[in-house]
């Protein structure tokens, strides 16, 4: 592992937009984050890989806000945890909506079904989004 001073310097360089520092941080922490996500996702490799990639994308997007004096691993794990919860919520909404459609009326015209499905899905997603706290709404619509 690297010394705290070197990690702080890398994080400071990241804040200043250094892709080289970003790449070094990715190489240092992506494996640990992957292991964390494997435990959190009960061994779902696809989800773990996806969340690790999305976490580092998010890190790059918010690099100016990273505090070099704070625990960087905790910061990454928090981002990853939030992203995984968003993924689970999205999967749950998709599942519930699919079940709803299957049970509602299976004999509909195909074209009408698609337009109706899209309208119901948009309405349902919008109603769920309205129930989120303001900070979650901001993150949801920023993606």
What CATH number has the domain bearing residue 36? 1.10.1740.10
**Does residue 22 lie in a domain region?**
yes
State the Cα torsion 52-84-47-65 to the nearest 10°. -10
**Does residue 21 lie in a domain region?**
yes
Q: Nearest CA to 33 among 67, 81, 71, 89?
A: 81
Q: Which residue has the higher pLDDT, 96 or 129?
A: 96
How many separate domains does the chain show?
A: 1
List, for residues 20-39, the tens digit of each pLDDT value: 999 999 999 999 999 999 99
**H and E: helices and strands count for the chain:** 6, 0
Predicted confidence (pLDDT) at residue 74 exceeds the cutoff of 80: yes
What average pLDDT does range 108-135 have in this prediction? 73
**Does residue 41 lie in a domain region?**
yes
Confidence of residue 118 (pLDDT cuts 50, 70, 90): confident
Confidence at residue 44, expressed as pLDDT on a 0 to 100 scale:
85
Confidence at residue 57, expressed as pLDDT on a 0 to 100 scale:
94
């Amino acid at each position: 592992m690297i010394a705290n001073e070197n990690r702080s310097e890398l994080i400071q360089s990241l804040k200043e937009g250094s892709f080289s520092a970003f790449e070094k941080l990715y190489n240092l922490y992506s494996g640990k984050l992957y292991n964390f996500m494997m435990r959190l996702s009960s061994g779902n490799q696809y989800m773990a890989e996806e969340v690790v990639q999305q976490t580092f994308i998010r890190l790059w997007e918010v690099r100016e806000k990273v505090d070099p004096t704070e625990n960087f691993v905790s910061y990454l794990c928090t981002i990853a945890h939030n992203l995984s919860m968003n993924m689970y919520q999205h999967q749950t909404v998709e599942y519930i909506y699919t079940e709803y459609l299957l049970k509602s009326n299976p004999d509909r015209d195909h074209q009408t079904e698609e337009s109706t499905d899209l309208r119901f899905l948009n309405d349902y997603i919008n109603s769920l989004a309205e129930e989120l706290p303001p900070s979650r709404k901001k993150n949801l619509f920023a993606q």
